[in-house]
Structure 1
Amino acid sequence: MTTAPLRPNLTMLAALATLHERRADAEALARRWDVAHDLDPDRVLWGLQDLGFTAKRVSGTLSALANAPLPVLAPTTSGEMVLVGRVSDTVLVQRAGAKAVAVSAAEFAADFAGAWIEASPSVASVTATADAASGAAASQFNVGWFWQAIGKYKAELAQVLLASFFVQIFALVTPLAFQVVIDKVLTHRSQSTLVVMLVALAGVALFEAVLSGLRHYLLTHTTQRVDVELGARLFQHLMRLPMSFFQSRRAGDIIAATRELETARNFLTGQALTAWLDLVFALVFLAVMFYYSPLLTLIVVVFLPIFFGASYIVSPLLRKKLEDKFALGADNQAFLVETVGAMETLKSQAVEASWQRRWEERLVRFAVSSFESGHTGNWTNQLTNLASKALTVILLGVGAMQVIDGNLTVGGLIAFNMLSGRVNAPIIKLSTLWQEVQQMRVAIKRLATIMDATPEPGFASDGAGRRPLQGQVSFDRVSFAYQANGVQVLSDVSFSVPAGEVIGVVGVSGAGKTTLIRLLQRLYIATSGRVFIDGIDLATVDATWLRRQIGVVS
């Protein structure tokens, strides 16, 4: 009689991964994800994505399931996942702990929950696997990593863009209404028409306020969900990095780099999301302005390169100053973290005064760098604002002459200036957006120092069926250095310790006593030679499976 596994959903997830030629088993995945009991359907979806699959939950009938890209995972009415391989008059179903069997469609439909999970290896994971097999360098971290998470909320972001579209439409209505009031209502002294126009403007203003509020709520809610997912993925990658990564970097540098995650996300889901829509409507406003006055529209178009040019010219200098500012900020962060961690040593040696002086020198350098980057950005903004004010003055003067000559009405002039402001606003916003692009590029570059680091090798199917370790330790001609070209801490070390034997290792500081224990835990891989426990080469085993069977007191 076959005994059902303790984690049926996790078992079926591993089975699906195996069908796609991914090494995986339930026990290894349970250790990797710290699963105490089993996965619910949402965690199954998350687990597939963590293994490099593009996965989604689909709802539908049994006939719709027949057209799905099989095999799929389908939850039953009891919540247990089954693997579905074929759907016709009979359904090929595999349950945890059993072989695949064909059941009638009616029998399957009675237990079918009306949903399933489709999964296929993502392009990024297939590319990474091919690169690893060929020895090619892994793809570099870029903005695409963010779009993978943001893309899951396409529907919500589409609603934000739709709301922004209607807000822009209302912005077009207001100047036209002002023209009608000034040119028609005031000229003909029609109070009834005035009341109608005022009520319409009040309604538009109220609807615009409600729509803007809902847009802000939806965008904020969505970005917070994106923040949680991106933060979790960054921390997960950080936890899988080898000790050599942390050994070669200061804690403050790593912390400062992780904080750049919010900078990049704010840009992608902030102004960058709606800037292109504002630019499209700027063209619409220009068309309406051309209808009012081709001459005034030409003046506005002539000023547009000034708005863009100021930011474009200063961007290389600004990017350099932002990189300097980040480097100094990270250096201060590292200094502060190291100071707090070594406070006992500092006080015991009575060096507080010299340490205070070093901290103040660092603060001064950071303040100067921050002032210079802010000063550069400020002058760019001031130049853009000056050009905007000059444009307003010129439009007012030329427009007034157009009114005097009878080529433009007073209402048309007022409407034109209001529309001009609507055109200038997104253009000025785009000029400041260019500065944010530079900040995002710096943030991506800093995050890449973490995300491009190679994690510890994972063996998702290793350890299954292995007996618990007994403790026979063997070092076979092991040499090790913490840095590639550094001094060897261990050199051609060989020894064997039977299971259950108690030994002591003595030696001067730096002799390699702690290094031996670190190699046993596979916190580091030997530069040459091999380390065995119970005859198992530790370079080939799952690190989590190994470390959970080793106790260390420090």
Structure 2
Amino acid sequence: MDAEAGSFAKDIENIPSAATPSIVLASLISNLMATGLPIAILIIYDRVLPNASEYTLGLLTAGVLAALAIDVIIRIARGAIVSHRAARYSHRAFLGVMEKVFAADPRSFQAESTAVHLERLGAIDAIRESRAGYLPQLLVDFPFFVLFVALVFLIGGPLGFVLLAFVGFTAIAAIVSGLSVRSRMEARQANNSAQSNFLTEVLSGISTIKSYAMEPLMKRRYERVMESSATITANLIQGSISAQALTNLVTQAAQISIVAAGSLAVINGGMTIGGIAACMLLTGRALQPLNRASMLWSQYQSVRIAKQRIRELAAMPTIASGGGIVRDSLHGAIEFRDVTFSYSNGRTVFENLSLAVEPAETVLISTRGNWGGRSTLLALAGHILLPDRGTVLYDNVEAEAFDDEWLRSRIAYLGPNPALFEGTIFDNITGFDPSPEHIAEVEDVAEELGLTEAVSKLPMGFQTEVRAGAGDTLPASIRQQIPIVRALARLPDIVLMDECNSNLDRDADDRLRAALARRQTSTTILLVTPRPSFQALAHREITIGSDEVADGAGDDAPAVEVHAELRVVGAGGAAQ
């Protein structure tokens, strides 16, 4: 893990701690108030009852009740402070994680399933309980354990050793229980991941499952997943119940042992009855943080797994953003210089690719036979994918030198599978940007592409809700127009058209072609399209073959071998 990833993981794991001065002070007062009851019991048994002092009894009772009330108030206040800090932590942590997600290299991010990413995001809740929840409170309370043990030694003398013996037994039991729980938690995490993957697949592909009558098969798969989940959950619950029962047994055994040993001391004249009662109460109080620590130690095993998930998230490759070059616009020149690109499955798409596109040039990207790579070429040109080696330049400047967010704002990628978001059509075409200037541009482009006319026929117009799955009632043409309008409204300097018009009706298709034609004098356009009407816009054609990339159309186009140096050659055979 590099230094930046390590710093990100540490920030998520460690902000903020609940052991603040206010929490420490509240814990100090609360624990001091807790000593009031045992001391009062000691005085009542040893002083008040033998002397029949009703006045002293009243004062002691009032004092103890006041101490208990203060203790309750302080605990409530401390809980409110911790809850507030936990909420702040969640807010900051989720914002930090989403920044990491938005900056992630799409190739690495998409190599893992949605369920894996959701599991990593869910790890924040476990870490919140660790760093901003009740664990810090326990750590603050734990030192006062020494105070209660010291009071037992002060009042009961050797009874303190009885208490320490049970403390040691509790610590050993907690360690053994925690190690057992850890292996079970790891098994549950793996099972949860499998269950989430299955549910994601089913919910996203429910129409396909129904159309192929695959419901019985999917039910059998889910039964197997849930059978394993039920077994693991049962083991965890059984372990938790056993640990809780053991904790209660130790507490009761400790108090009984204190009473028994104290009774022997009373018989021998070495202790009073009040001392026994006080030591018994102090023993219960001393074991409380230890018992909570025992339970939290088991829970901490899940926190360790959550931290590992955060480290995995932190280790994801990112695209550098911020601090780079920002201009008013790009001229639109694109150059691939010795670019090599492979997907995560090891398939090499381009090797040592070198080609150039001039500003305001319209280039058609085609392939020979069944060879692919057109969409990958556009994604590299759009800074959506990053090359393994080599570099992509814009206006003779390396892409890495630009501010990443600004650079992507100057490039419009029009893909075949447009992404729409929950909200209205208006929200989607504006990209949730409410600025008046942007809305004006959106309205102009929507009118130009005919979306305004098409949407006006809907009952709710631009306020029509965009939904996913079976709830989607938008015509396919409108669904494909929405992201096109959203992209072109940003007035991009480079347009990458990747078969984005497959579902457009005739009028919308003609309007899109006319819109691209109007932009040819000022915008660089790369086209991937089978439609002759759009192909006719191209000034030049780049053809991708199994071993070559060539300028020109058809099998007679001149080409060079790609594995030596992949480059575009002109119609006359000279390298460009």
TM-score by length of 1: 0.69
CA gap 1:316/1:195 in 2 versus in 1, 3 angstroms = closer
Shifted more, 362-371 versus 469-478: the winner is 469-478
Match runs of 1:277-288 below 5 Å:
277-288=140-151
Match of 2:285 among 400, 412, 422: 422
Offset of residue 396 of structure 1: 2.2
User: Matches of 1:510 and 1:185 in 2, distance apart?
Assistant: 98
Q: Which amino acid in 2 is paired with 1:488?
A: T
Task: Identify the residue that residue 28 of structure 1 maps to in structure 2.
Answer: none
CA-CA distance at 1:267 after TM superposition: 1.4
DSSP 3-state at the match of 1:532: strand
Residue 437 of structure 2 is matched in structure 1 by: none
Q: Deviations over 1:465-499 (max 9, x none)?
A: x352233334345332112x611123454444443
CA distance in 2, matches of 1:541, 1:243: 18
Q: Secondary structure at the match of 2:182?
A: helix
Q: Distance in 1 between matches of 2:72 and 2:174?
A: 32
Within the alignment, does 1:293 sit opposite 2:162 as a pair?
no
Question: In the alignment, does 2:99 pair up with 1:236?
Answer: yes
User: 1:280-429 residue pairs with structure 2 within 5 A?
Assistant: 280-429=143-292
Q: What SS does the corresponding residue of 2:340 show, helix, strand or coil?
A: strand
Q: Conserved in 2, the CA contact under 8 Å of 1:141 and 1:452?
A: no
Alignment partner, residue 210 of structure 1 = 73
Quick check: 2:340–2:387 contact (8 Å CA) kept in 1?
A: yes
**Preserved contact between residue 289 and residue 419 of structure 1 (Cα < 8 Å):** yes
What is the CA-CA distance between 1:350 and the residue it aligns to?
Answer: 2.4
- State the secondary structure of the residue aligned to 1:551: strand
Distance in 1 separating the partners of 2:110 and 2:371: 16
Measured in 2, the distance between the counterparts of 1:338 and 1:504 equals 36
Number of residue-to-residue matches in the alignment: 414
Q: Is the 8 A contact 2:324 2:404 kept in 1?
A: no
Q: Does 1:431 align with 2:294?
A: yes
Q: Deviations over 1:484-541 (max 9, x none)?
A: x611123454444443344443447770121112101212222334433333333443
Contact 2:13–2:127 (CA under 8 A) maintained in structure 1: no
Distance 1:138 1:216 in 2: 34
Alignment match, 1:195: 58
Number of the residue aligned with 1:546:
407
SS in 2 for 1:400: helix
1:160 to 6, 17, 23: 23
SS at match of 2:244: helix
The one-letter code matched in structure 2 to 1:536 is V
Aligned-pair CA distance for 1:266: 1.0
How big is the shift at 1:310? 1.0
In structure 2, C-alpha distance between the alignment counterparts of 1:143 and 1:283, rounded to whole Å: 34
Matches within 5 A, 1:8-407: 140=6, 144-146=10-12, 149-150=15-16, 157-407=20-270
Contact map agreement 1:253 1:331 (CA 8 A) in 2: no
Question: 1:509/1:194 Cα in 2 relative to 1: closer, same or farther (>3 Å)?
Answer: farther
**Structure 1 residues 294 and 260: CA distance shift in structure 2, 3 A:** same
| CA drift at 1:315 | 2.8
Q: Cα distance, 1:141 vs. partner?
A: 5.9
Kindly state the Cα deviation for residue 289 of structure 1 after the two structures are TM-superposed.
0.9
Match of 2:340 in 1: 479
Distance in 2 (alpha carbons) for counterparts of 1:427 and 1:526? 55
1:266-302 alpha-carbon deviations (Å, 9 max, x no partner) = 1122332132333321111111111222232211111
Letter in 1 for 2:381: L
Against the structure 1 CA distance between its residues 533 and 141, is the aligned structure 2 distance closer, same or farther, given a 3 Å change threshold?
closer
SS in 2 for 1:478: strand
* 1:473/1:457 CA distance change after superposition, 3 Å: same
RMSD: 2.5
> Cα distance, 1:417 vs. partner?
0.3
Would you say the 8 A contact 2:15–2:131 is kept in 1? no
Structure 2 letter corresponding to 1:341: S
Q: Percent of pairs identical after alignment?
A: 22
Counterparts of 1:399 and 1:217, CA distance in 2: 40
Displacement after TM superposition at 1:452 (Å): 2.4
Taking structure 1 as reference, are residues 511 and 279 closer, same or farther at Cα in structure 2, changes over 3 Å only? same
Contact 1:264/1:444 (CA < 8 Å) preserved in 2? yes
Which entry has the higher C-alpha Rg, 1 or 2?
Answer: 2
**Which sections of structure 2, spanning at least 5 residues, go unmatched?**
416-576
Question: Would the aligned equivalents of 1:489 and 1:512 in 2 still touch at CA under 8 Å?
Answer: yes
Rate the CA distance shift 1:320–1:222 in 2: closer, same or farther, 3 A: same
| Matched-pair contact (CA < 8 Å) for 2:332–2:394 | yes
Aligned to 1:453: 316
Q: Quick one: which of 382, 388, 392 aligns to 1:527? A: 388
Shift of 1:459: 4.9
With over 3 angstroms needed to count, the CA separation of the structure-2 counterparts of 1:510 and 1:178, relative to structure 1, is farther
1:242–1:456 CA contact under 8 A, matched in 2: yes
Contact 2:34 2:67 (8 Å CA) reproduced: no
Residues 358 and 522 (structure 1 numbering): CA distance in 2 closer, same or farther, change over 3 Å? same
Query: 2 CA distance for matches of 1:319 and 1:336?
Result: 26
Instruction: Return the letter of the residue paired with 2:11.
Output: W
CA contact (8 A) 1:252 1:330 kept: yes
Greater CA drift, 442-451 or 199-208: 199-208
Q: Is the 8 A contact 1:521 1:547 kept in 2?
A: yes
The one-letter code of the counterpart of 1:500 is A
390-399 vs 300-309, which moves further: 390-399
Map of 1:119 onto structure 2: none
Residues in 2 aligned to 1:510 and 1:209: alpha-carbon distance in whole angstroms: 73
Q: CA deviation at 1:372?
A: 2.1
Does the residue aligned with 2:365 lie in a helix, a strand or coil? coil
Question: Offset at 1:219?
Answer: 1.8
Aligned twin of 2:349: 489
Q: 1:550 to 1:454 in 2, by over 3 A?
A: same
Check conservation: 1:522, 1:539, Cα contact below 8 A: no
Distance (whole Å) between structure 2 residues aligned to residue 381 and residue 282 of structure 1: 20
Judging changes above 3 Å, is the alpha-carbon distance between structure 1 residues 243 and 295 closer, same or farther for their aligned structure 2 residues? same
Matched-pair contact (CA < 8 Å) for 1:179–1:412: yes
The one-letter amino acid of 2:33's match is F
Give, in angstroms, the shift of residue 354 of structure 1. Answer: 1.2
Rounded Cα–Cα distance in structure 2 between residues aligned with 1:288 and 1:475: 77
